[in-house]
């Protein structure tokens, strides 16, 4: 396996037992069918880069794994799993990944998008709104103490970050605010959005 990063070996070894075969399979598939990728760690998660830009990433949480492509919005992905970070839902076993033929096709499509210089849908609205999102220091401080939660928060689009921050800041009392902060950290550590309970599987 070329262009590997020993930090990802460590990441996989420290992951839960159920997660290790999932992560190893994803890693092997990416290297086998995208030999020009290189590995790195960004936002506390393993990432693959292709031609100098992010190609895809994976992550392990307490009870599930996640896989996401940079051009995921433009790929033909049909996942019926519970929504989570990335485009494949909450992956808990190898059987919940695309089969090898489908996975190879997705990898080839993703490489073609990178090679063609494809553009993702405009996010100008989010960029303008980001200027108005203020993250309370105590919220950020607690978030930084939990690498998994921080990685999830960083991977969220602006709207999902805002949902958590607003839920926290709108609490009427200090006790409620503290309770919501701990709940938010726990949920994000598991890769969950603020309103995950109401999302369809």
pLDDT digit string (tens) for 104-138?
999 999 999 989 888 876 655 544 445 567 888 88
Per-residue pLDDT at 104: 94
Residue 69: which CATH number? 3.90.1150.200
pLDDT of 97 above 80: yes
Please tell me whether residues 48 and 10 are part of one structural domain: yes
Does residue 199 sit within a domain?
no
Residues 18 and 106 reside in one and the same domain: yes
Q: Which two tokens stand for residue 111?
A: 């490489």
Asked if 155 and 81 sit in the same domain, the reply is no
Examine residue 1 and state whether it is found in any structural domain, yes or no.
no
Question: Which residue range(s) make up the domain with 167?
Answer: 124-194
Position 160 in a domain: yes
Are the beta carbons of 162 and 130 closer than 8 angstroms?
Answer: no
Domain check: are 136 and 87 in the same one? no
101 and 183 co-located in one domain: no
Is 110 in the same domain as 13? yes
- Quick check: 82 pLDDT over 50? no
DSSP-derived secondary structure letter, 98: P
User: What six digits make up the tokens of 138?
Assistant: 């105590």
Domain boundary among 92, 116, 140: 116
Domain boundary among 55, 85, 116: 116
Residue 200 lies in a domain: no
* 102/129 same-domain check: no
Residue 115, phi-psi category: left (phi > 0), alpha (psi -120 to 50), beta (remainder): alpha
Other C-beta atoms closer than 10 Å to the C-beta of 67 total 27
- Measure Cα distances from 147 to 51, 92, 141 in Å: 27, 20, 12
Does residue 186 belong to any structural domain of this protein? yes
Say if residue 129 is in the same domain as residue 179: yes
Percent of the chain with pLDDT over 70: 87
pLDDT of residue 83: 55
Residues 30 and 86 placed together within one structural domain of the fold: yes
Per-residue burial over 22-35, b if 16 or more Cβ lie within 10 Å, else e, is bbeebbebbbebbe
* 90 and 167 share one domain: no
Which of 93, 116, 139 represents a domain boundary (last residue)? Answer: 116
Domain count, the chain: 2
Residue 20 domain-assigned? yes
pLDDT in tens, 142-190: 998 999 999 999 888 888 898 999 899 888 888 999 999 999 999 999 9
User: Angle at which helices 174-189 and 147-155 pack, to 10 degrees?
Assistant: 80
């Amino acid at each position: 396996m070329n262009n590997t990063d020993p930090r990802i070996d460590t990441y996989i070894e420290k992951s839960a037992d159920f997660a290790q075969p999932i992560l190893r399979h994803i890693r092997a598939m990416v290297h086998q069918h995208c030999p020009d990728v290189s590995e790195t760690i960004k936002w506390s998660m393993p990432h693959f880069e292709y031609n100098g830009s992010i190609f895809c990433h994976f992550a392990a949480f307490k009870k599930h794994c996640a896989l996401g492509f940079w051009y995921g919005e433009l790929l033909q992905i049909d996942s019926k799993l519970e929504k989570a970070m990335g485009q494949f839902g909450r992956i808990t076993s190898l059987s919940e990944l695309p089969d090898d033929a489908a996975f190879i096709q997705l990898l080839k499509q993703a490489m073609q998008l990178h090679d063609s210089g494809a553009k993702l849908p405009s996010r100008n609205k989010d960029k303008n709104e980001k200027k108005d999102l203020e993250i309370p220091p105590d919220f950020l401080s607690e978030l930084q103490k939990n690498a998994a939660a921080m990685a999830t928060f960083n991977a969220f689009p602006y709207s999902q970050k805002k949902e958590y921050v607003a839920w926290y800041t709108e609490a009427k009392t200090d006790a409620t605010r503290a309770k919501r902060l701990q709940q938010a950290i726990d949920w994000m550590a598991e890769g969950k959005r603020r309103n995950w309970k109401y999302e369809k599987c």
